[in-house]
Chain A
Amino acid sequence: MIQLENIVKTYPMGKRELTVLRGITLNIEQGELVAVMGPSGSGKTTLLNLIGCLDKPTSGKYYLDGKEVSQLSGNELAAIRGRKVGFIFQTFNLLSRLTALANVELGMTYAGGVNRQRAIEALAKVGLSDRVNHRPVELSGGEQQRVAIARALVKNPSIFLADEPTGQLDSRSGQEIISILTSLHAEQGITLLLVTHDTNIAHQCQRIIQLKDGEVVGEERV
């Protein structure tokens, strides 16, 4: 479902160029649960942004659902982000002035239209039925991240991309989030790419990809 062929990403840094990804080739199948690990600066987040169509590769080919997307226009990439990609961020990235429900609805705003019933169902799936009208400041970190999961879930994306979703949580709430994600994977067969530092979390996935200095240096099946 996701096919990366020799993806290179460089950023201009003053006069020199900084190469963040040096030829990544990767296949992720429908319904896979994949962890991406690696030290800081190894290019994990850049890889995730490229897969999530937030950024374009400098060279290489990227097929999403069989379609080459690496050279699409800004509007076409926005459309793919809207319909096919569900982001889950380390810092949750909820809008603080919106209620949990409105934040989930925001996930549908740019993906075909708001449907309140589905937003309520999505919040129920992550166990927040009683927090629908709470604002992020009234929620714990774990609850906020669950709202973010519901926001991604509500538009039925092809792929979930989670960038250290437990990085700001204590280990118990972190484990709760991982349980929700793994059970969504088990029940609904969602495809999930998860960036993490935590070996314990990585080992709850099916497959672990090791990145270092912008290259894939190892892969293991759990």
Chain B
Amino acid sequence: MKKWFGTLATVWLGLTTHKLRSFLTMLGIIIGVAAVIILMSIGRGTQATIVSRIQSLGSNLLFISPGGTTQGGVRFGPGTATTLTLEDAQAIAGEVPNIASVAPSNSSSLQIVVAGQNTRSQVSGITPEYQQAYNLQLSEGDFISDYQYQRAMKVAVLGPNVANTLFSGDDPVGQTIRMGNIVVQVIGVLQSKGQSFMGGTDDSILVPLTTLQQTVAQSLTSSGEHVVRSIVVQVDDQQHAAGVTSEITALLHERHRLAAGADNDFTITSLQDIINTISQAMSSMTLLLGAIAAIALLVGGIGVMNIMLVSVLERTREIGIRKALGARNRDIWTQFLIEAAFLTLAGGIIGVAVGWVVSYFISSMGQMTTMVSSDIVILAVSVSVGIGLFFGFYPAWNASRLNPIEALRSE
């Protein structure tokens, strides 16, 4: 114990003799560790933000889309087949348990005319369940009701961005829009949900599916069912998602008269799958950011080695004196190794503090969210001490091997 205290006192003395030099050496480590903390916290923060945005879409969602088609040897992408129908959606709602809502939708690109201005835009035909499935709130007006849906009334609900573009600040509710060959009245505006990978609702124009069918020639399947672009199913609880998925698969397989063992002509993707995929991609990105920052840490480590080599050279005579006074090789080795480890440990701790503060400032400036987690902190500090031990090893070993007689003779 007393011996260790002595070693620490010796190390402290070695470091404080050249304060500026020790500080500059530490600075390399400080910058490296801070960079790791900052970049990793930005990565983690962004990941958390994106996942929570997707979840705000409404959790427990399953997206059913039609499969691809093959025509004349050319394979078209998924979603191009016309196999999914409104009747499928009704069958799912009627026969599969543990479902909160089923929202089939179709969409079509239409000419939009408002106050003499002409644009082309995507119009979605939906059912009233759409609101619940996507967890939509209105900033004004009302959503499309069952009554309006049944009667195929000419009404529309606008996403906030569309409302802004078309009416530039005027109150859109009550105004009319010409789309294709019909005129619809705006009855509500959605609250903004922000952008998301699933194509948020901020840019949509929603009309009853029945209304859309009047303006766009509705495709029918060979059996006379109404084709839809997608069906969104809201499961009542996340834990039923797998069961519901397989039941829907079986049901659609049967309804589409597919032979047993034949490929499905539709795909079911759960929101959880999407979140997992995105999370994974974001984790890789975070890791990449960390790896880039780790290069700074490595450079800092090389700086430590450089200074330790200089320090050993400079203190050759001191090493000779210590050896003459009875220091074993191990004592000299320990002294220099602890010196290097101490430099990097102190650098690591200060680096964590700096990184933390900077992350906090980045967060508080808005735009970007950062998340400093304890595993990153522990990792960064232990890596920096490891770097000290690794890069301090060779200089310390050099020092311990010095011949005492020659060391004493050096100037």
Contact = CB atoms under 8 A, between A and B. Distances in A.
Given A82-B325, A82-B326, A113 B404 contact: no
B324 interface: yes
A111 interface: yes
B405 A89 contact: no
B318 A110 contact: no
B329 interface: yes
A87 B2 CA distance: 25
Given A79-B326, A109-B6, A55 B321 contact: no
Contacts of A80: 326
B326 A111 contact: yes
Nearest to A102: B13
A151 B325 CA distance: 9
A81 interface: yes
Contact of B327 (A49, A78, A97): A78
B183 interface: no
A149 to B, nearest CB: 14
B317 interface: yes
Nearest to B10: A109
Contacts of B6: 109, 113-114
B21 interface: no
B323 interface: yes
Contact of B17 (A82, A93, A97): A97
A110 B331 CA distance: 9
Contacts of A142: none
Contacts, number: 67
A49 B324 CA distance: 10
A97 B404 CA distance: 20
B178 interface: no
A87 B324 contact: yes
B326 A110 contact: yes
Contacts of A151: 325
A72 B320 CA distance: 19
B328 interface: yes
Given A89-B408, A109-B6, A113-B3, A98 B13 contact: yes
Contacts of A81: 323-326
Contacts of B320: 93
Contacts of A114: 2, 6
**Looking at A82, A83, A107, A110, which has the most chain B CB atoms within 10 Å of its CB?**
A110
Contacts of A78: 323, 326-329, 331
B151 interface: no
**Looking at A83, A107, A109, which has the most chain B CB atoms within 10 Å of its CB?**
A109
A75 B331 CA distance: 10
A137 to B, nearest CB: 14
A74 interface: yes
A79 B331 CA distance: 11
A97 B326 contact: no
B408 A106 contact: no
Interface residues of B, number: 23
A78 B332 CA distance: 12
Contact of A55 (B2, B13, B327, B405): B405
Contacts of A89: 408
B327 to A, nearest CB: 5
B405 A110 contact: no
A186 interface: no
B269 to A, nearest CB: 69
A113 B2 contact: yes
B401 to A, nearest CB: 10
Nearest to B330: A75
A52 interface: yes
Interface string A34-63: 000000000000000100101100000000
Interface string A77-109: 011111101010100011101100000001101
A93 B405 contact: no
Interface string B1-15: 011001000100100
B404 A54 contact: yes
B324 A106 contact: no
A52 B408 CA distance: 14
A117 to B, nearest CB: 15
B321 A95 contact: yes
A113 B9 CA distance: 13
Closest 8 CB pairs of A and B: A82-B326, A110-B326, A78-B328, A81-B326, A110-B327, A93-B321, A75-B328, A87-B324
Interface of B: 2-3, 6, 10, 13, 17, 317-318, 320-331, 404-405, 408
28 contacts: A52-B324, A54-B323, A54-B324, A54-B405, A55-B405, A74-B329, A75-B329, A75-B330, A78-B323, A78-B331, A79-B328, A82-B327, A93-B317, A93-B320, A93-B324, A94-B321, A95-B321, A97-B13, A97-B17, A98-B13, A106-B321, A109-B322, A109-B327, A110-B325, A110-B327, A110-B331, A113-B2, A151-B325
Given A75-B329, A94-B321, A95-B318, 6 more contacts: A81-B326, A82-B326, A87-B325, A93-B320, A93-B408, A97-B13
